[in-house]
Amino acid sequence: MRARRFKIGLVMAIVVVALVVVMSAVTVSVNSNSKSYTFTAHPAFATTTTIPSIADVAEKVLPSVVNIASSRLVKAHGGWPFSDPFFRHFFGHRKPPEHMQRGLGSGVILEVNGIVVVVTNNHVVEKADEIKVKLSDGREFEAKVVGTDPKSDLAVLKLKGASKLKPLKPGDSARLRLGDIVLAVGNPFGLEQTVTMGIVSAKGRANLRIVDYEDFIQTDAAINPGNSGGALVDMNGHLVGINTAILSRSGGYQGIGFAIPTNMARPILSSLLKLGKVVRGYLGVMIQDVDDDLSKAMKLPGYKGVLVSDTVADAPARKAGIRRGDFIVKVNGQSVPTASKLRNLIASLGSKRRVSIDLYRDGKKKTISVVLGELPSQQATVGADKKSSGMRLGELTPETRRKYNIPSRVREGIVVEDLDPSGKAAQVGLRPGDVILRANRVTLHNVRRFSQIYAKAKGRMLLLVYRDGSTIFLLLPK
């Protein structure tokens, strides 16, 4: 009996000692000057962790985030009766009314290739006639667009006459983990120097159809209209993303925002400054994601890879021996579990790069070496001045087919991707998603051919246009 009591007493003593050790394992000290909280572990644990103050991080970041105001002159076109020849006959030519369209956004001061610039979203400054940038200290400068990349929604600006700018230090977005605390800094609704806090909700978000190349950081830090182009920073005050879009039914914050990772943005910004354009790698394959059912039907080794549905003639993939039905799992040792991952990775590697591609063919693993080409230009602007036709055209590609739901039976033509509402193309009835099959009775296979015909045309061009399952003729004036 005594032995039993002794054992129980010994166990209770051990438990009490353990609780004392745990309770004394952490001591807390508060430094009111630095506003930081230091948790010092018991010597038995021998570690020290410091949690930065959110106020300190915000104070460090705010001087590097700017307000961007853009403006452009827009002519009214819809319903303007005097554009009709009948009314012009009786009332003469009258110019449509004009109004100034203004936009607000945010930007981040960065040092890229040794040059201090402002980085923002392309949609913040697109088509702007005038751009003004206001710094956190109240100074205001005119800005010039150095380069834009609509495919990733990035733009680079230079400030005229600016000095003593404070670039933000870029961080490594690949090191972000789900649950990490992040701050979104920008100018929502024109309210300057606004800071919101949240966490990283997800990484690698794609197929949202916001832009062509997507690998977004998802966050619940409040992002609203006007935050576009602003900074997403970690708790070290380092830039980890450029805030770009929100998922919302109301148009305002509903808990889901998206940012372009700095690791994705860095080579794009560098290329824009060096070359004035973005040079992306090109493999020349049609690819698709694979689910469990398709994997079983094709006897693939799982479904964490990308299926090659076709290859492009004379493209790097076909020349290197990649075939339809190949199942790509890695590029340069890096896993590519989805089509968007493969596409983004190939694009980021650039042209003239030799890469190693691991794939499965008929159940056997192969490694194929490929020298990447340069992604062909898929869009061009026809007539950039105010007297132009005012439309942006793109090649007929798998991406544009999916975006505009163009059927496979439409084998040739070029796609209308965007229109200036005041341009001639919009006035004659062309719409985004239209496929121009012929121009002056010449079949079109690329944008370059259209540009040649447009340059030689006199007066008006006869267009054959595919739209919603049928074709129509339109006359486009020069």
Do residues 147 and 156 make contact, with C-beta atoms less than 8 angstroms apart?
Answer: yes
Distance between CA atoms of residues 214 and 120, nearest Å? 16
Q: Any residues with CB less than 8 A from the CB of 33 and at least 6 apart, and which?
A: none
**Gap between the terminal Cα atoms of the chain:** 108
- Pick from 451, 15, 442, 399: nearest CA to 214: 399
Active site residue 123: yes
Place of tokens 């609203």: 224
Place of tokens 């994705």: 264
- CB atoms closer than 10 angstroms to residue 271: 18
Question: Could you tell me the two tokens for 107?
Answer: 């930007």
Q: Which of 153, 212, 234, 326 is catalytic?
A: 153
Q: Which of 123, 212, 234, 326 is catalytic?
A: 123
User: What SS3 state is found at 101?
Assistant: strand
Distance between CA atoms of residues 287 and 305, nearest Å? 10
Q: Any residues with CB less than 8 A from the CB of 54 and at least 6 apart, and which?
A: 183, 197, 235
Cα 207 → chain centroid:
11
Please name the amino acid found at residue 97.
P
User: What SS3 state is found at 12?
Assistant: helix
Distance between CA atoms of residues 172 and 183, nearest Å? 15
- CB atoms closer than 10 angstroms to residue 472: 12
Question: Could you tell me the two tokens for 38?
Answer: 């230091």
Q: Which of 106, 228, 271, 389 is catalytic?
A: 228
> Rounded to the nearest 10 degrees, what angle do helices 262-275 and 339-349 cross at?
40
Identify the burial level of 157 via C-beta atoms within 10 angstroms of its C-beta, where 0-12 means exposed, 13-18 middle and 19 or more buried: buried
Q: What is the DSSP letter of 170?
A: B
- Pick from 469, 468, 465: nearest CA to 450: 465
Place of tokens 């997800």: 202
Distance between CA atoms of residues 135 and 300, nearest Å? 55
What are the backbone dihedrals phi and psi of residue 338, each rounded to the nearest 5 degrees, phi first? -135, 160
Do residues 243 and 199 make contact, with C-beta atoms less than 8 angstroms apart?
Answer: no
Do residues 401 and 411 make contact, with C-beta atoms less than 8 angstroms apart?
Answer: no
Active site residues: 123, 153, 228
